[in-house]
């Protein structure tokens, strides 16, 4: 351990011990907590503490992953096990303080679980259904530390990996550790991280960039934002290590505008690292220097594509670049760059700290480590779970997620985001594995698992996914721009029971052309949702085409401005050769009012 880091570590551990010598309450105030009312809990907590005249340390933390139990309040009293209260209401705060903090008696009737010891009548935190089978690496500090307090992170073992790399390993040895770990990208492509880094490491340029992608626009995915709001330091340490291994000089954390909690906490963490000498010139007394900043982008799904991300950073419209040149040769501002997902970089500190062999021993042969799955939809316990690859999908959905909250059977999962596919219930025994899921016609992607019960229409969901993809198409290449619109028109017609013979073949032809001619993955993968739906639930489409009454298909809700304006006038490009290839679009309220006035 270097002398510089030894001093930081000692101070952090001393402060951590002092923090535990008095009552300490952690309140989950990330995006999930805020949505459930944690701001009201925090305000009432401060008011009641002042009213009672007691001294209590309060820390705002991110979610533990148990989103179903938000807002959460984690209460520590010296010499007692911690107690977690779930779904806390403002009118319960006073009683918790009086009975638990002052009286030393947890209120078991509203408590969720205990941590660090057994409390009679309460399960241990790790015994909760959603926590069983979890192995936490990237989420190891979720809900445990103040995400803006560097000392908390260091006290939990943070920056030991960086100190080890700078004091004991060369750049080449650090890169080799990542390669040998088997870490694959967690943003969707699942490409070897070490191999990707080697492309940048081989470029001798003096100025090189590590770009951290937290655009995260996938419906159903919220693990990147969770890492930033619960433990941004683990991302920063991973980014610095990536810079050291590749010889990069700068890092940029790319976050979608409007995600205030992740943005603010990441900026605070960066400032703390600069103050402690963990960023900037000569980090921890070494010859390595590295700078990091945050860059925001508007709500553009395509900005998650690596070259579109670089365009956005440069202040341009988020549209993909032609390749070659590839980012490792010509990236942001024309400098060599390497783009990684937030989750990918968040694994690196523990890989360097514990070694490649430790990480590669977790998971399956080709999918090493853990996966963070986001559970939403028809599920009893929505939230995040971090599990080793190799766990079955059924175990995640039924054992950890609790299945459908009303006891209905689960029909299918939508996986891999809006460009992913469907996984029917008869394939839930499949192992969580990058390659196995792709071969089944689904994909794990960024980790979103949207659960759909027996009442859900596959046709309706497919239409919704394609509508999202059509709205988010940047429009740069016409196979995607027009192809998405064409597929949406067909799906709207089928959903309304007015489909035509040959529509399925036409949709496939459009999808194949998109795959062959689109510039980026948005268009290349745009047919995936349809292909997967037809593969497993083709009968739902044919039933509607044969005139059967639509079931469980609601009216489509979406902005008219996302459609080609010519559609309203029945003058689409396709209608020139196929007059009935038009979707019936309802006029807006303003158009109706204008007609009435006329």
Q: Are residues 427 and 549 in the same domain?
A: no
For residue 512, which of 479, 545, 473, 468 has the smallest C-alpha distance?
Answer: 479
Q: Are residues 406 and 425 in the same domain?
A: yes
pLDDT value at residue 557: 61
Q: Which of 79, 104, 127 is the endpoint of a domain?
A: 127
Q: Are residues 284 and 406 in the same domain?
A: no
- Residues 244-298 pLDDT 10s: 999 999 999 999 887 889 999 999 999 999 999 999 999 999 999 999 999 987 7
φ, ψ of residue 221 to 5 degrees: the values are -115, 130
Q: Which of 437, 456, 475 is the endpoint of a domain?
A: 456
Q: Are residues 503 and 516 in the same domain?
A: yes
Q: Are residues 449 and 484 in the same domain?
A: no
**Does residue 233 register a pLDDT over 50?**
yes
pLDDT value at residue 547: 85
pLDDT value at residue 586: 47
pLDDT value at residue 585: 44
Q: Are residues 40 and 76 in the same domain?
A: yes
Distant-in-sequence, close-in-space partners of 101: CB < 8 Å, separation ≥ 6: 23, 25, 54, 56, 75, 77
Q: Are residues 201 and 328 in the same domain?
A: yes
Q: Are residues 356 and 412 in the same domain?
A: no
pLDDT value at residue 76: 97
Q: Are 94 and 102 in contact (CB under 8 A)?
A: no
What's the domain range around 87?
18-127
Q: Which of 111, 127, 143 is the endpoint of a domain?
A: 127
For residue 290, which of 328, 242, 337 has the smallest C-alpha distance?
Answer: 242
How large is the average pLDDT for residues 486-512?
91
Exposure pattern of 508-545 as b/e (b: 16+ CB <10 Å)?
A: eebbebbbeebbbbbbbbbbbbbbbbbebbeebbeebb
How large is the average pLDDT for residues 292-316?
88
- 6 within some domain: no
In angstroms, the CA 563 to CA 403 distance is: 37
**Does residue 128 register a pLDDT over 70?**
yes
- Torsion of Cα atoms, 556 then 320 then 310 then 386, to 10°: 50
**Does residue 577 register a pLDDT over 80?**
no
- 294 within some domain: yes
| Stated pTM of the model | 0.90
Lowest mean pLDDT, pick from 111-120, 206-215, 541-550, 559-568: 559-568
How many structural domains are present in the chain?
Answer: 4
Q: What is the domain-level CATH number for residue 546?
A: 1.20.1440.230
Q: Are residues 355 and 392 in the same domain?
A: no
Q: What is the domain-level CATH number for residue 448?
A: 3.10.20.600
Q: What is the domain-level CATH number for residue 109?
A: 3.40.30.10
Secondary structure (H, E, C), 86-123: CCCCHHHHHHHHHHHHHCCCCCCCCEEEEECCCCCCCC
pLDDT value at residue 242: 97
Q: Are residues 447 and 473 in the same domain?
A: no
pLDDT value at residue 300: 81
- 81 within some domain: yes
Q: Tokens 């009286």 belong to which residue?
A: 103
Q: Are residues 76 and 175 in the same domain?
A: no
Q: Are 291 and 274 in contact (CB under 8 A)?
A: no
- Residues 354-377 pLDDT 10s: 999 999 999 999 999 999 999 999
- 138 within some domain: no
In angstroms, the CA 406 to CA 410 distance is: 11
In angstroms, the CA 96 to CA 106 distance is: 7
pLDDT value at residue 30: 86
DSSP state of 300: -
- 528 within some domain: yes
Q: Are 245 and 197 in contact (CB under 8 A)?
A: yes
How large is the average pLDDT for residues 548-561?
70
- 560 within some domain: yes
Q: What is the domain-level CATH number for residue 181?
A: 3.40.50.11540
Averaged pLDDT of the chain: 90
Q: Are residues 464 and 427 in the same domain?
A: no
pLDDT value at residue 588: 45
- 336 within some domain: yes
- 433 within some domain: yes
The residue with greater pLDDT, 192 or 560, is: 192
pLDDT value at residue 4: 84
Q: What percent of the chain has pLDDT over 70?
A: 93
């Amino acid at each position: 351990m270097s002398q510089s880091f030894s001093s930081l570590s000692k101070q952090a551990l001393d402060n951590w011990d002092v923090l535990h010598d008095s009552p300490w309450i952690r309140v989950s105030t990330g995006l999930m907590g805020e949505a459930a009312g944690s701001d009201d809990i925090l305000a009432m907590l401060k008011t009641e503490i002042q009213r009672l005249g007691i001294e209590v340390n309060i820390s705002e933390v991110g979610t533990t992953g148990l989103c179903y139990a938000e807002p959460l309040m984690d209460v520590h009293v010296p010499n007692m096990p911690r107690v977690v209260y779930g779904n806390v209401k403002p009118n319960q705060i006073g009683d918790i303080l009086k009975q638990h903090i002052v009286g030393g008696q947890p209120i078991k009737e509203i408590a969720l679980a205990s941590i660090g010891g057994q409390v009679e009548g309460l399960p241990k935190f790790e015994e909760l259904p959603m926590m069983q089978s979890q192995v936490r690496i990237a989420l190891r500090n979720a809900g445990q530390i103040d995400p803006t307090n560097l000392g908390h992170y260091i006290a939990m073992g943070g920056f030991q990996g960086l100190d080890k790399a700078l004091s004991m390993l060369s750049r080449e040895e650090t890169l080799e550790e990542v390669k040998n770990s088997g870490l694959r990208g967690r943003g969707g492509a699942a490409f070897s991280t070490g191999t990707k880094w080697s492309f940048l490491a081989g470029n001798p340029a003096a100025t090189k960039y590590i770009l951290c992608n937290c655009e995260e626009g996938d419906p159903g995915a919220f693990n990147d934002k969770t890492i930033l709001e619960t433990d941004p330091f683990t991302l920063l340490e991973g980014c610095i290590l990536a810079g050291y291994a590749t010889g990069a000089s700068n890092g940029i954390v790319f976050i979608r505008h409007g995600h205030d909690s992740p943005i603010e906490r990441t900026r605070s963490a960066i400032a703390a690292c600069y103050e402690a000498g963990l960023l900037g010139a000569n980090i921890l007394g070494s010859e390595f220097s590295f700078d990091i900043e945050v860059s925001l982008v508007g709500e553009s799904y395509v900005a998650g594509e690596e070259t579109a991300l670089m365009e956005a950073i440069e202040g341009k419209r988020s549209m993909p670049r032609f390749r070659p040149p590839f980012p490792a040769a010509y990236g942001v501002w024309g400098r060599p760059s390497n783009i990684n997902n937030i989750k990918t970089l968040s694994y690196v500190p523990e890989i360097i700290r514990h070694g490649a062999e430790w990480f590669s021993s977790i998971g399956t042969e080709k999918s090493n480590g853990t996966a963070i799955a986001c559970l939403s939809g028809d599920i009893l316990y929505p939230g995040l779970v971090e599990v080793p690859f190799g766990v079955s999908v059924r175990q995640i959905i039924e054992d950890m997620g609790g299945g459908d909250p009303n006891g209905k059977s689960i029909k299918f999962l939508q996986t891999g985001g809006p460009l992913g596919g469907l996984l029917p219930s008869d394939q839930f025994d499949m192992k969580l594995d990058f390659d196995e899921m792709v071969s089944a016609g689904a994909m794990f992607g960024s980790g979103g698992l949207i659960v759909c019960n027996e009442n859900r229409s596959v046709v309706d969901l497919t239409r919704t996914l394609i509508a999202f993809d059509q709205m988010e198409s940047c429009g740069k290449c016409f196979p995607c721009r027009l192809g998405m619109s064409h597929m949406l028109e067909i799906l709207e017609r089928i959903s309304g029971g007015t489909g035509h013979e040959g529509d399925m073949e036409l949709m496939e032809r459009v999808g194949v052309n998109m795959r062959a001619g689109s510039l980026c993955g948005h268009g290349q993968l745009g047919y995936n949702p349809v292909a997967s739906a037809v593969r497993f639930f083709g009968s739902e489409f044919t039933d509607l085409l044969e005139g059967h009454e639509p079931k469980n298909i609601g009216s489509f809700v979406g902005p008219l401005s996302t459609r080609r304006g010519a559609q309203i006038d029945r003058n689409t490009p396709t209608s020139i050769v196929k007059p009935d290839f038009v979707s019936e679009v309802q006029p807006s309220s303003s158009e109706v009012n204008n007609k009435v006035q006329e």
